[in-house]
Chains A and B, each alone.
Chain A
Amino acid sequence: MKQLLRSFRYLKSYWYLAIGSLFSILLATGAMLLIPRLQQLIIDEGIVVGNISAVVSFTMAMIGVALTRALFQFGQGALAARAAQGVAYDMRNDVYDRIQSLSFSYHDQVHTGQLLTRATSDVERVQRFVGRGAIMLLSAVFMIGGSVALLFSINAQLARVMLVMVPVTLVLFAIFARAALPLFRAVQQKLDDLNTVLQENFAGIRVIKSFVREAHEAKRYETVNLEFYDLNIRVNNILSLAFPTIFGVLNIATLAIYWMGGMQVIEGTLSLGELVAFAGYLLMAFFPVLMIGFIVTMLSSASASAVRIFELLDAQSEVVEQPNAIALPPVKGHIAFENVTFRYYEGGEPVLDEVSFGVEPGQTLALLGTTGSGKSTIINLIPRFYDVREGCVRVDGYDIREVTLESLRSQIGIVLQETNLFDGTIRDNIAFGHPHAKDDEIERVARAAEAHDFIMRFPNGYETHVGERGVNLSGGQKQRIAIARALLLDPAILILDDATSSVDLSTEYRIQRALANLMKGRTSIVVAQRVATVLNADQILVLDQGRILGRGTHEELIRTNELYAEIYSSQLQDDRHLMQKVETAGEVTQ
């Protein structure tokens, strides 16, 4: 509820629309209240006493009032639409901005689907309540008040029927709402569950098919589906009672009015016209009561949505720019980790433990180590995807927490370990960091990434669509596009996280040669599994379980570091002898 009230702040920029809409709805309601009164006058002053001119003039008045009412009604609708949609627009923008600014740690925890719901249907619900519901609530109260007052002015005894009808309707509404609301929520929840299963069946279709788990998935779906069915039936059982019953109250009230009022007319204490007008006001008082019921129901779902939206909007990004952050000047390429200890979440095991190292401008640093030793984590810390709490990371001597994110990240070209391409053309994907890059620029980086040749082999060349997440490309092709994408930034620091794991050795070799050329004088950090990839690094760090076990060049490490020697031998050792044999064999045959 508190969060829902907070949402009203969004109405602030549209206050004139909101006021205008409120004003219009009050006038429209006032006009509407006149109509039964005019009907009464037509009957009593015109028809019953035989005065034709009264009939004509009151009829004209009725049409005039109807026109006025229509005008204000339209004004109300048009203004409310602008206010409500304005609120939705601003809110959605805020949600989106926040999503964009939240750091990786937030995105590690939430699912895409959840964020999507917040930005679409949750915003929709809050918008409907804030932009319309509240104003309608006011007008409903006004309408009930007005019609009850008019009823009392006509006939106090009959008006008492109203005093019974309004509360009874509200109580009934509350009873039904209490029974139905939890079920509505459960239905929504089940629907989400159904969609989650469906979503997983899309995303994991290859796994499902290769393990022949169609039947298993179908059963899982069937279970949720049946529960969804049952819930729907239960909700509808309540609804099937609710509506006829609530309308039944109206019917009973009408009956009471005609019965009691009829008796009064017979006794001569009430005119026929008044009785008819009375029935009209009864209807007018009833619908706002219903409306209040609906709006209150709406309120509870809107406030649940508001809670979800503000939860997101209030989420603090772990990575925030300091207010006095400066723009990082053009980077020379010095990187230093000073006693960095890092955990992904509070109280978790440290993933990096007292890691310190430095890279000089123009050097190539290679990270090698066991699976899960923290290589990607080190890399994630340099563009400040996560913040370190203990120790610090410096670029050119600046603590990266003291510079703006944009100035830091735009000077770093990074290829993440998990390749993610956008659904668009190859050209769009390479130009992701620089949408206005020229074709020859794009081609140059594509060549460096050894991608140009295979791209040109497609009939549509650079305009080939890669499909969702790049499904239409092979693993190595995706990786090479990701490399070209990073190179296009012309970065001062290039980071490659296992960027060639799906690329064959000779292609990788050619990419490396091109990179050596392109990155001359710039700093590169390379994560690799193959020793061959890191042989020419200036410095190699050997990692295990978050600690640096050794550092140095290949020659140094092979002598001094056991883990390194082990990794090396697992790849090459056996073969040197074999190769020599082959080579000698070759020489012999020559």
Chain B
Amino acid sequence: MRRPGALEVRKPRDTGNVVRRLYPYFAPFKRRLVGVGVFLVLSTLVDLAAPYLIGVAIDQFIARPDSPMPVWLSWLIGPDATRAAGLSTVMVILGASYALAWGLNVIQFRLMVRVSQRVLLTMRTQILDQLHKLSLDFFDQHQAGDLMSRLTNDTEVINDMFGPGLMRILRMGLTLIGILFAMVALNWRLALASFSILPLILGATIYFSRRVRQAFRETRKTIGDVSAELQENISGIREVQAFAREDETISEFRAVNLRNRDASVTAETLSAVFMPVLDVMSTVAAAVVIGFGGYLVLGFTPPLVTVGIIVAFLNYVRRFYDPIREMANLYGQMQSAIAGAERIFELLDTEQSVKDEPEAGCFAERIEGQIVYEDVSFAYKEDEPVLDNISVVIEPGQMIALVGPTGAGKTTFVNLLLRFYDVESGSIKIDGCDVRSVPQANLREVIGMVPQDTYLFSSTIMENIRYGRLDATDEEVIEAAQVANADEFIQRLSEGYQTQVGERGSNLSQGHRQMIAISRAILNSPKILVLDEATSSVDTRTELLIQEALDKLMADRTSVVIAHRLSTIRKADQILVIQDGRIAERGTHTELLAQQGAYYELYMSQFRRQEEIYEPMEAAEPGS
């Protein structure tokens, strides 16, 4: 099965904008970054001094001294020093420069890493905060798997890039410039000769790195498909096996896996061309230096260049092509980091559709629990209305029940009460106060909810229940479980409350999962309780016990209950029959039966089939 919009890989759209957005993250560290910059320049200079010093040592002392001594050197050792003493002096200086470079490198690396890790720390925190702010429609539209792998991938790439990566790029740039200067300063003729091959190298680098980048982008896309396929078929493994679809999914997987293999081979083969080509060119450049240098030495009297300078040039040429190669590599990384940052900013910029008002007030300390829906209409997608002009008044302490065909909009009704989505028109008020005028957190604090899909965390049963009230003691947790009738089965488990819950509760029966979710809501002890088919998988006898306990608990609280079992809702103060997003009937159980409308039909359907099949059952009833 193909998912739409699986992991797309792309180039950054607006690099300038990303850089602008990144600026505030780095701004607090301005002084440190300036420090890094200074150290960077210094260490590059020191690095560049080494080939020069070696060249000097060769020319002045190792080979026969046939060129004038640099001023600084004659000042240092005097013009008449022996060759051996001179060599030693230069070597000591070289050693000192190496030591200096070491220190500078250590310090700048540490400074930079600290800054970039801080930035990432902030970014990750912001991502989670943003996820919490986003409303549910966002989660309806985005696949968690995709989004997750993108987020982790993107932060990782950014991590690699904005730490050492950025510094390497700068350093390489500086080195390049430094080398150019040094070469021209040492011997412009030889410098020009060694540059002659430069356009070729640049051309090849640009050409290949672009192709290689494209190829690797393709491999990232195909590996994304591989993960998507895995994700989907592992989480659906029970269906795959139940429908004996292993062979088909395996051959589907082979196909995406094969595409990934081929894309990877192509990309790696391309980069296998790239490196040797650059290597040949850099050897050619070295050959040019030596060959042309040899010509300059031998073809002219006095020679236009010294052997020491040729050796220095050999060193420089080697160092010259490395940065070009490296920068080409890093450029690719940089691009994906920027694209990653862009996606993260996109997520951070996503507007929440449900927003707190700026001057949102709060509920009073104790609310009464009156709920009023006034002409509420709602649609998940435009032009597909789900609720249509719903008006209800629920008095404090009342229990109201929603029944109706599946897909009628019952869950939607309560989603709106918790403000998971905002009404399209009309309003919902609690104690006369529009739910949009209080902060979402405050609103949800007064409402306890057991959703239709039970979600349990991968921790112990104890922790799962405690999620309802974080500061609850173990005793309070157990008490809540007792109310929900869950204590008994939990005690029967070999590890009791400390039993680890499998992924999504896989090692518990469906009914038990629901009972844990109910315990959680009971512990939360809210003023308004919403049960969305909370006991649909619990057997009716246990359900009855839970209900009796809840009745006591809910005596002075308002509750909204959705259920298909009519036994569950019989006691409701008010029953709403919802059909096609409208309230078709309302009243108590007895009133609605007397009306002989939709509710009556619904209710009778459970007897009708028994009458179709069996004789009237009077005879069967015990005690009759």
- CB contact between A63 and one of B234, B283, B503, B602 (< 8 Å): that residue: B283
Is B15 interfacial (CB 8 A cutoff)? no
Chain B residues whose CB sits within 8 angstroms of the CB of A509 once the complex forms: 605-606, 608-609
Q: Are B125 and A225 in contact (CB under 8 A)?
A: yes
On chain B, the residues within 8 Å of A80 by CB distance are 268, 272
Do the beta carbons of A112 and B503 come within 8 Å of each other?
yes
Contact with B along A475-489 (1 / 0, CB 8 A): 111011000010001
Residue A3 is within 8 A (CB to CB) of chain B in the complex:
no
B622 touches A229 (CB 8 A): no
Interface assignment of B50: CB less than 8 Å from any CB of chain A: yes
**14 interchain pairs, CB-CB under 8 A:** A63-B287, A71-B276, A81-B269, A93-B257, A210-B448, A218-B129, A240-B106, A244-B102, A255-B98, A263-B87, A276-B311, A501-B537, A507-B405, A578-B590
Q: Which of B56-64, B185-193, B473-481 contacts A (4 or more CB under 8 A)?
A: B56-64
Q: Is A272 an interface residue (CB 8 A)?
A: yes
A contact residues around B276 at 8 Å (CB) = 69-71, 73-74, 77
Q: Is the interface of B mostly helix, strand, loop or mixed?
A: helix
In the complex, per-residue mask of B140-166: 1 if CB is within 8 Å of any chain A CB, else 0: 110111011001100000000001000
Residues of chain B within 8 A (CB-CB) of A212 are 440-441, 444-445
Closest 5 CB pairs of A and B: A476-B406, A77-B272, A371-B511, A66-B283, A81-B268
* Alpha-carbon distance between A198 and B129 when the two chains are bound, in angstroms: 11
Instruction: Tell me whether B609 and A535 are in contact (CB under 8 A).
Output: yes
Answer yes or no: B179 CB below 8 A from chain A CBs: no
Contact of B489 among A108, A244, A371 (CB under 8 A): A371
B94 touches A420 (CB 8 A): no
Could you tell me if B241 and A428 are in contact, using CB atoms closer than 8 angstroms? no
A409 to chain B: closest residue by CB: B244
B110 close to A (CB within 8 Å): yes
Tell me the bound Cα distance from A207 to B463 in angstroms: 14
* Interfacial chain A residues near B109, Cβ < 8 Å: 236, 239-240, 243-244
- Please indicate the chain B residues that have their CB under 8 angstroms from the CB of A245 in the complex: 102
B540 x A475 contact (CB < 8 A): no
17 extra interface residue pairs, beta carbon distance < 8 Å, beyond A262-B62, A371-B538 = A42-B291, A62-B290, A66-B279, A70-B276, A73-B276, A81-B264, A85-B264, A194-B124, A201-B132, A239-B109, A371-B537, A417-B537, A420-B235, A502-B452, A509-B608, A535-B609, A567-B541
A245 CA to B312 CA in the complex, in Å?
Answer: 24
Q: Give A106 Cβ to nearest chain B Cβ, in Å.
A: 9
- Which single residue of chain A is at the shortest CB-CB distance from B450? A210
Contacting residues, chain B, for A502 (C-beta < 8 A): 406, 452, 533, 536, 564
Q: How far is the CA of A459 from the CA of B381 in the complex (A)?
A: 11
Query: Which of B140, B280, B314, B603 meets A471, CB within 8 Å?
Result: B140
Select one of A48, A65, A96, A505 contacting B564, CB under 8 A: A505
**A71: chain B residues within 8 A (beta carbon):** 276
Q: Does B18 contact A (CB under 8 A)?
A: no
Report the Cα distance A205→B145, complex, angstroms: 14
Q: Does A164 contact B (CB under 8 A)?
A: no
B594 touches A585 (CB 8 A): yes
Contacts of B243 in A (CB 8 A): 409-410, 432-433, 485, 489
Query: Cα distance A96–B237 when bound, in Å?
Result: 11
Which residues of chain B come closer than 8 Å to A385, judged between CB atoms? 238, 241-242
Q: Which of B296-336 contact A (CB under 8 A)?
A: 297-299, 307, 310-311, 314
Q: Which residues of A contact B4 (CB under 8 A)?
A: 465
CA distance A115 to B507 in the complex (A): 18
Per-residue interface assignment for chain B, residues 422 to 436, with 1 indicating a CB less than 8 Å from any chain A CB and 0 otherwise: 000000000000000
Contact assessment for B467 and A211 in the assembled complex, using a CB-CB cutoff below 8 Å: yes
A155 to B60, CA, bound (A): 23
- Chain B residues positioned under 8 Å from A311 (CB to CB): none
- Given A255-B91, A578-B593, CB of A506 within 8 Å of CB of B457: no
Interface string of A78-108 (1 = CB under 8 A from B): 1011101110110011001101110110011
- Chain A binder among B248-256, B369-377, B550-558: B248-256
Within 8 A of B (CB), among A502-529: 502-509, 512, 529
Residues from chain B with a CB closer than 8 A to the CB of A115 are 230, 234
User: Taking the complex as formed, is A297 at the interface, i.e. its CB lies under 8 A from any CB of chain B?
Assistant: no
Contact between A371 and B515, CB atoms less than 8 A apart: yes
Chain A residue with minimal CB distance to B403? A504
A348 within 8 A of B: yes
Q: Is B583's beta carbon under 8 Å from chain A?
A: no
Given the known interface contacts A100-B246, A111-B503, A535-B614, the answer about A423 and B3 at a Cβ–Cβ threshold of 8 Å is: yes
Is A308 located at the chain interface by the 8 A CB criterion? Answer: no
CA distance A88 to B494 in the complex (A): 42
B380 within 8 Å of A (CB atoms): yes
Question: Which residues of chain A are within 8 angstroms of B602 by Cβ–Cβ distance?
Answer: 504-506
Binds B, one of A144-152, A332-340, A554-562: A554-562
**B533 CB contacts on chain A under 8 angstroms:** 475, 501-502
The verdict on B95 contacting chain A, using a C-beta distance below 8 Å, is yes
Q: Which residues in window 323-356 of A have CB below 8 A to B?
A: 344, 348-349
Q: Are B102 and A476 in contact (CB under 8 A)?
A: no
- Contact: B128 with A206, CB < 8 Å? no
Q: How many residue pairs, one in A and one in B, have C-beta atoms under 8 Å apart?
A: 510
Docked pose: A3 CA to B97 CA in angstroms: 47
**A292 → B minimal CB distance (Å):** 20
Q: Are B601 and A506 in contact (CB under 8 A)?
A: yes
A50 to B294, CA, bound (A): 8
Indicate the size class of the contact surface on chain B: 35 or more
Residue of B whose beta carbon sits closest to that of A562: B622
Cross-chain contact B307 with A43 (CB below 8 angstroms)? yes
User: Given A77-B271, A236-B110, A567–B125 Cβ distance below 8 Å?
Assistant: no
Contact check, A200 vs B567: say whether CB atoms are below 8 A apart: no
Check if B451 is an interface residue, CB within 8 A of chain A: yes
From A414, A424, A433, A572, B1 is in contact (CB under 8 Å) with A424
Which residues of B89-108 are within 8 A (CB) of A?
91, 94-95, 98, 101-102, 105-106
Instruction: Decide if B237 touches A107 in the complex (CB within 8 Å).
Output: yes
Question: Shortest beta-carbon distance, B450 to chain A, in Å?
Answer: 9
**Contact mask for chain A residues 37-48; partner B; CB cutoff 8 A; 1 contact, 0 none:** 001001100111
**Bound complex: CA of A99 vs CA of B238, how far in Å?**
11
Known: A104-B238, A263-B87, A344-B507. A529 touches B606 (CB 8 A): no
Asked if A454 lies at the interface with its beta carbon under 8 angstroms from chain B, I say yes
Q: Is A293 an interface residue (CB 8 A)?
A: no
A56 vs B291: C-alpha distance in the bound complex, in angstroms? 6
B139 sits at the interface (CB 8 A): yes
Contact of A258 with B257 in the complex, beta carbons under 8 Å:
no
CA distance A578 to B592 in the complex (A): 12
Which residue on A lies nearest to B380, using beta carbons? A472
CA distance A525 to B246 in the complex (A): 24
Residues of A within 8 A of B245 (CB): 432-433
Establish whether residues B244 and A209, one from each chain, have CB atoms under 8 Å apart when the complex forms. Answer: no
Contact at B621–A266, with CB atoms within 8 Å?
A: no
> Quick check: is A369 within 8 A (CB to CB) of the other chain?
yes
* A187-223 to B contact mask, C-beta < 8 Å, 1/0: 0000100111011111111111111111011100110
In the complex, whether B565 has a CB less than 8 A from a CB of chain A is yes
Is the pair A474, B457 in contact by a Cβ cutoff of 8 Å? no
Shortest Cβ distance from residue B220 to the other chain A in the assembled complex, whole angstroms: 12
Closest to A471 in B: B140
Q: With an 8 A cutoff between CB atoms, is B620 at the interface?
A: yes
Q: Is the CB of B152 within 8 A of A276?
A: no
CB–CB B128/A217 < 8 A: yes
For A579, what are the chain B residues with a Cβ–Cβ distance below 8 Å?
593, 607
Give the interface centre of A43, A232, A263, A371 by most chain B CB atoms within 10 Å.
A371
Confirm or deny: A456 has a beta carbon within 8 angstroms of a beta carbon on chain B.
Answer: no
Whether, in the assembled complex, B420 has its beta carbon less than 8 Å from a beta carbon of chain A, the answer is yes
Q: Does B524 contact A (CB under 8 A)?
A: yes
Chain A residues lying within 8 Å of B94, measured Cβ to Cβ, are: 255, 258
CA distance A261 to B613 in the complex (A): 108
Known A77-B272, A89-B258, A512-B609: A244·B232 in contact at CB below 8 Å: no
**Contact between B239 and A432 (Cβ–Cβ < 8 Å)?**
yes
B138 to chain A, nearest CB (A): 9
Question: How far, in whole Å, are A535 and B515 apart by their CA atoms in the complex?
Answer: 26
